[in-house]
Amino acid sequence: MLSGTQDYQQMQTMMSSMIDAVLICDIQGRIIMANKAAENLFLVREGGLVGKRLNELGYESEIANMVGEVLERGNEVFIETIVNPSPQVYRVHVSAIKNEFNIIDGAIAVFHDVTDARNFAQMRSEFVGNVSHELRTPLTSIKGFVETLLDGAMENSTICRRFLSIIDSETDRLSRLIEDLLTLSAIESKERIVRPQPVCLVRSIRGVMNILGPQISEKSLHVEYVYPDELSLILADEDLLGQVLINLLDNAIKYTPPGGNIMVRSRKKDSRVITTITDTGVGIPPESLPRVFERFYRVDKARSRNQGGTGLGLSIVKHIVESHGGEVFVESEVGQGSTFGVSFLAV
């Protein structure tokens, strides 16, 4: 198959520099050459693949059948599959190796990792589906009320005012959704350049508490901010920091019943400043905790929509904090409230 030691060494050198896993089999289907990536993929020591057939490794019968087909027919075969014991998805390409007389001499199998591409495609599909659903709901509501008004409901001033109020509310909801989508898109695509600078966290939090003062008063909530004297400045983009704090505090306000308490705490730990917002709200079930920062994920879909949420606020928080090199976390117990936390680098 390979004419001479020099050709063999050249092939070895070329394969060793490849990211994709590569196997070369002889006419009997035995592996005669494998690169380091292939050994890592199949979890074997150096040289552990040479001399074996794929079906002798205890798995990959599908790929072994592909190699057998290529050796018999001389065609090319493609397949996408999960290659055990790896959880990744690979696009496997097997083609024949022929000599100067066009006689099949062996086969070469290349394993290209397409996991990220498939995950991205799945995420994109889910994202488009979620956005379509979120847009359809208020648009359907607006269209329905407009049609009712045009059919004669405008003649009744009381009904007309109520319907127009609902349309106004649904329009605001659409605006919030579109604004959040644009914000998330700008952060994810890095169109929104993060410009960190020393920021006084205490001043930022107090500013956000003033902005949300009407909502706090409306529900008669007790909001307290606790922080140590001489709290370090943090390195952050002040506008994006404001979005993080508004989303977290607004979230706590929405899900805390009237007369409840919200405690905001900031403290320095090592090289970071950690801020937590603890509420006495409804809490989050354990199975939902790992997903609360996902786009459009809602613990209680009906309740969240009634509160005016877009399902993107916590996802925006996560992306902003991580773009600063920080971390987000959540702790909660049903009926006992929730604690959301973020960390930023101290100056």
Same domain, 200 and 303: yes
Give CA separation, 342 vs 42, 267, 314, 320, in Å.
40, 11, 11, 10
List the domain range (segments joined by +) for residue 163. Answer: 114-192
What's the predicted TM-score (pTM) here? 0.58
Same domain, 199 and 317: yes
Same domain, 249 and 210: yes
Distance from C-alpha of 173 to C-alpha of 124, rounded to nearest angstrom: 23
* The pLDDT of residue 157: 86
Per-residue pLDDT of the chain (347 residues; tens, 9 = 90+): 555 555 666 777 778 778 899 999 999 999 999 999 999 888 889 888 999 888 777 655 788 889 999 999 988 999 888 876 667 889 999 999 998 888 999 999 999 998 887 777 666 666 666 677 677 777 888 888 898 888 888 888 888 888 898 888 888 878 878 887 887 777 777 777 888 999 999 999 999 999 999 999 999 999 999 999 889 999 999 999 999 999 999 999 998 999 999 999 999 999 999 999 999 998 999 988 988 888 777 776 544 555 556 678 898 899 999 999 999 999 998 888 999 999 999 99
Same domain, 279 and 140: no
* The pLDDT of residue 127: 65
* The pLDDT of residue 271: 94
Same domain, 148 and 175: yes
Sign of CA dihedral 227, 232, 236, 238: positive
Amino acid, single-letter form, for residue 245? L
- Summarize pLDDT for 169-210 with one digit per residue, the tens: 888 878 878 887 887 777 777 777 888 999 999 999 999 999
* The pLDDT of residue 302: 47
**Which of 192, 215, 250 is the C-terminal boundary of a domain?**
192
94: left (phi over 0), alpha (psi -120 to 50) or beta: beta
Q: State the CB neighbour count (10 A cutoff) for residue 123.
A: 12
Distance from C-alpha of 293 to C-alpha of 288, rounded to nearest angstrom: 10
* The pLDDT of residue 166: 86
CATH code at position 215 = 3.30.565.10
Same domain, 210 and 316: yes
- 272-279 and 337-345 strand pairing: antiparallel
Same domain, 328 and 217: yes
Q: How many domains does the chain have?
A: 3
Same domain, 336 and 205: yes
CATH code at position 144 = 1.10.287.130
Same domain, 204 and 334: yes
* The pLDDT of residue 307: 54
Distance from C-alpha of 10 to C-alpha of 135, rounded to nearest angstrom: 58
CATH code at position 97 = 3.30.450.20
Same domain, 303 and 202: yes
**Which of 163, 192, 221 is the C-terminal boundary of a domain?**
192
* The pLDDT of residue 145: 87
**Which of 161, 192, 223 is the C-terminal boundary of a domain?**
192
Same domain, 202 and 345: yes
First and final C-alpha spacing in the chain: 63
Same domain, 162 and 60: no
